[in-house]
């Protein structure tokens, strides 16, 4: 939730034209990246917009103007498309909607004309454009703000590199066609940029929505992104960097950001991370980089409301604190089996499921649902995932019964614990966790009252990533790193490849296609292999 200190990060006035925006990132026959977008060089307005790009679709709230031309604001929301790109093609989620592009995600059959991938691509490049504009016009305004904007630009480029591989690259405001950089080149630039800008960022400090600076990135955000970058280095460059991944994870673990462990008499600590007052209920001690939401001032169809409404049908009791019940995304069988390997999940409410699961993270609603999915177009085939809601853990009412106050924790300190455990397991030569890595996984499991183990294999770590971070927009990244996504013939899930029993899809799909519209607009670009 956003309170009075929002003026430091997403003030409504700044979002609604303090930036002086007069054009959008377009599609079809426009310059592929439009860094010459006309903006009044107002430092605070541009700074806020660099963050707001991840939290809102554009000016004017949910039904206002969208920054991305040719697609509606909901479809281009950063969180919504992060989810679609990294959850729908995996063992965690499947969607029953008939929107163009959904079935391609469900079955791993996308191409260069996929509308939602285009929306994700242009959303990320719009963020790059705003950051470039700030750095060129206001880069001398404040050293810390400039370092944060450089971090945000590196973050946008990280998601572009991870998703699309060999991408256009520009760091200046220019109308020239951007040159294409290979993935390994992008990796090297992102690493260098993060190592440099981190020096000028604020020291790590856990904050909440009543604290000045809540929602702004500090050094710990740079460390965690570096740790993630290094953990996936072998995928991106062919060269593993496990030690660096562990080293930067340890910096986050030793920082003021900690696992949130204090639940109350009604909700577990894990539940409280994803509730309507998660900015105030203590959970934000874990939020290394939260994306701020407010049910009145920052309404959007593509942020936390999407994570709640798209997984929620009106027959679910208790409710989720919003009247929006879209009923689209639900769990694939293989995800449920992470908590119930013997297929013994009861048919019941979330509370009834939790009572059997022995793990507070099993936020599943199975009443009047089926485990197996025969008809992908039927929401009740597949268990509902009840992870996100707009309910206040203290019993108070949310501000709005439609739009939500639930902040989205893009980076959580829990990631550092698993990064360290996995990286050191790979370094050990045995494929098993070290004593310290085991300790960190057990810290996560103890927080959720799950049974501890004396050691974890890499396959068990892969499953632990799912149990801890499901529906947070990262599963595709983890499956690729473990060799379980494209090109893998051993690990299948229902409807992978378009068949109920699951079948493999090609290894080239580990990178998405560059949008055809950008290829048509920029002669410097060459399509990724396979498309």
Residue ranges of the domains in the chain? 1-198+484-531
State the Cα–Cα distance between residues 508 and 113, nearest whole angstrom: 16
Residue 230 has pLDDT above 90, yes or no: yes
CA triple 409-467-465, angle to 5 deg: 75
What is the structure's pLDDT at 61?
A: 75
Q: Are 524 and 168 in contact (CB under 8 A)?
A: yes
Q: For 390-414, how does the pLDDT look when each residue is reduced to its tens digit (9 = 90+)?
A: 999 999 999 999 999 999 999 999 9
State the Cα–Cα distance between residues 434 and 456, nearest whole angstrom: 9
Count how many residues are written for the chain. Answer: 531
- Which residues, 6 or more positions from 63, have their beta carbon under 8 angstroms from its beta carbon? 73
What is the structure's pLDDT at 404?
A: 97
Q: Where are the alpha helices (DSSP H) in 177-287?
A: 183-197, 219-231, 233-237, 242-253, 269-272
State the Cα–Cα distance between residues 272 and 394, nearest whole angstrom: 10
Q: In this structure, what token pair is assigned to residue 54? A: 């991840």
Mean pLDDT of 448-464: 99
DSSP conformation letters of 469-525: HTTSS-HHHHHHHTT-STT-SS---TTGGGSTT-----GGGGSPPPPHHHHHH-TT-
Lowest mean pLDDT segment, chosen from 4-18, 92-106, 470-484: 4-18
Q: For 322-345, how does the pLDDT look when each residue is reduced to its tens digit (9 = 90+)?
A: 999 999 999 999 999 999 999 999
How would residue 88 be classed by pLDDT, with cut points 50, 70 and 90? very high
Closest CA to 311 of 373, 363, 253, 252: 363
Q: What is the third-level CATH fold of 1-198+484-531?
A: 1.25.40
Q: Are 372 and 360 in contact (CB under 8 A)?
A: no
Mean pLDDT of 445-452: 99
What is the structure's pLDDT at 75?
A: 78
What is the structure's pLDDT at 66?
A: 85
Q: Are 366 and 347 in contact (CB under 8 A)?
A: yes
State the Cα–Cα distance between residues 314 and 326, nearest whole angstrom: 8
115-138 and 43-55 are packed helices; what angle lies between their axes, rounded to 10 degrees?
Answer: 160
State the Cα–Cα distance between residues 175 and 167, nearest whole angstrom: 17
Backbone torsions φ then ψ of 70, nearest 5 degrees: 90, -10
Q: In this structure, what token pair is assigned to residue 490? A: 């051993």
What is the structure's pLDDT at 5?
A: 28
Backbone torsions φ then ψ of 395, nearest 5 degrees: 90, -10
Closest CA to 36 of 180, 133, 140, 177: 133
CA–centroid distance for 451 within its chain: 27
- Cα torsion 340, 344, 348, 353: sign: negative
Mean pLDDT of 259-270: 98
Q: Is the peptide bond before 318 cis (omega within 30 degrees of 0)?
A: yes
What is the structure's pLDDT at 40?
A: 52
How would residue 12 be classed by pLDDT, with cut points 50, 70 and 90? very low
State the Cα–Cα distance between residues 76 and 94, nearest whole angstrom: 19
How would residue 63 be classed by pLDDT, with cut points 50, 70 and 90? confident
Alpha-carbon distances, residue 282 vs 64, 128, 276 (angstroms): 33, 32, 12
How would residue 41 be classed by pLDDT, with cut points 50, 70 and 90? low
Element (DSSP H or E) covering residue 180: strand 180-181
What is the structure's pLDDT at 67?
A: 86
What is the structure's pLDDT at 39?
A: 46
How would residue 477 be classed by pLDDT, with cut points 50, 70 and 90? very high
Mean pLDDT of 161-177: 96
Residue given tokens 């989620």 in the structure block: 93
DSSP conformation letters of 74-137: TTT-HHHHHHHHHTTTSSSEEE---STTHHHHHHT---TT-HHHHHHHHHHHHHHHHHHHHHHH
Better-scored residue on pLDDT, 406 or 26? 406
Mean pLDDT of 227-246: 99
Backbone torsions φ then ψ of 513, nearest 5 degrees: -75, 140
Mean predicted lDDT score pLDDT of the chain: 92
What is the structure's pLDDT at 20?
A: 32
What is the structure's pLDDT at 34?
A: 42
Q: In this structure, what token pair is assigned to residue 171? A: 């760091």
Mean pLDDT of 219-235: 99
């Amino acid at each position: 939730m956003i309170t009075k200190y929002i003026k430091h990060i997403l003030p409504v006035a700044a979002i609604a034209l303090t930036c002086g925006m007069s054009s959008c990132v377009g599609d079809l026959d426009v310059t592929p990246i439009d860094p010459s977008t006309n903006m009044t060089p107002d430092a605070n307005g541009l700074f806020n917009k660099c963050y707001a790009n991840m939290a809102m679709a554009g000016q004017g709230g949910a039904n206002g103007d969208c920054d991305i031309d040719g697609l509606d604001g909901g479809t281009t929301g950063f969180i919504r498309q992060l989810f679609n790109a990294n959850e729908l093609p995996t063992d965690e989620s499947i969607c029953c909607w008939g929107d163009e592009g959904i079935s391609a995600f469900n079955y791993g059959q996308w191409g260069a004309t996929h509308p939602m991938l285009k929306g994700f691509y242009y959303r990320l490049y719009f963020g790059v454009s705003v950051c470039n504009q700030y750095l060129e016009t206001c880069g001398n305004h404040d050293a810390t703000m400039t370092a944060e904007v450089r971090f945000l630009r590196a973050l946008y480029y990280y998601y572009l590199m991870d998703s699309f591989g060999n991408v256009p690259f520009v760091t200046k405001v220019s109308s020239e066609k951007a040159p294409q950089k290979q993935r390994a080149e992008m990796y090297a630039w992102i690493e260098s940029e993060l190592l440099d800008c981190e020096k000028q960022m604020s020291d790590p400090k856990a904050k909440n929505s009543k604290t000045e600076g809540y929602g702004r990135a500090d050094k710990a955000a740079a460390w965690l992104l570096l740790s993630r970058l290094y953990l996936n280095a072998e995928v991106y460059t062919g060269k593993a960097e496990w030690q660096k991944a562990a080293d930067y994870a340890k910096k986050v673990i030793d920082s003021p950001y900690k696992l949130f462990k204090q639940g109350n008499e009604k909700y577990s600590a894990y539940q409280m991370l994803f509730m309507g007052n998660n900015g105030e209920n203590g959970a934000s001690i874990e939020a290394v980089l939260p994306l701020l939401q407010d049910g009145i001032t920052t309404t959007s169809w593509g942020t936390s409301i999407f994570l709640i409404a798209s997984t929620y049908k009106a027959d679910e009791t208790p409710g989720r604190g919003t009247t929006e019940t879209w009923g689209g995304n639900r769990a694939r069988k293989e995800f449920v089996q992470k908590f119930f390997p013997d297929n013994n999940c009861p048919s019941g409410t979330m509370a009834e499921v939790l009572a059997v699961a022995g793990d507070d993270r099993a936020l599943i609603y199975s009443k009047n649902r089926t485990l197996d999915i025969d008809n992908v177009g039927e929401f009740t085939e597949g268990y509902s995932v009840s992870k996100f809601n707009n309910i206040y853990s203290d019993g108070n009412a949310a501000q709005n019964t439609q739009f939500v106050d639930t902040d989205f924790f893009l980076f959580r300190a829990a990631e550092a614990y698993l990064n360290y455990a996995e990286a050191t397991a790979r370094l050990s030569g045995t494929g098993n966790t070290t004593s310290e890595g085991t300790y960190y996984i057990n810290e996560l499991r103890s927080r959720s009252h799950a049974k501890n183990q004396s050691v974890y294999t890499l396959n068990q770590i892969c499953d632990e990533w799912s149990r801890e971070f499901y529906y947070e927009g990262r599963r595709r990244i983890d499956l690729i790193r473990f060799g379980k996504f494209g090109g893998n013939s051993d690990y299948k899930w229902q409807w992978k490849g378009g068949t109920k029993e699951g079948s493999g899809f090609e290894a080239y799909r580990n990178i998405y296609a560059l949008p055809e519209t950008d290829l048509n607009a920029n002669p410097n670009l060459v399509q990724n292999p396979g498309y």
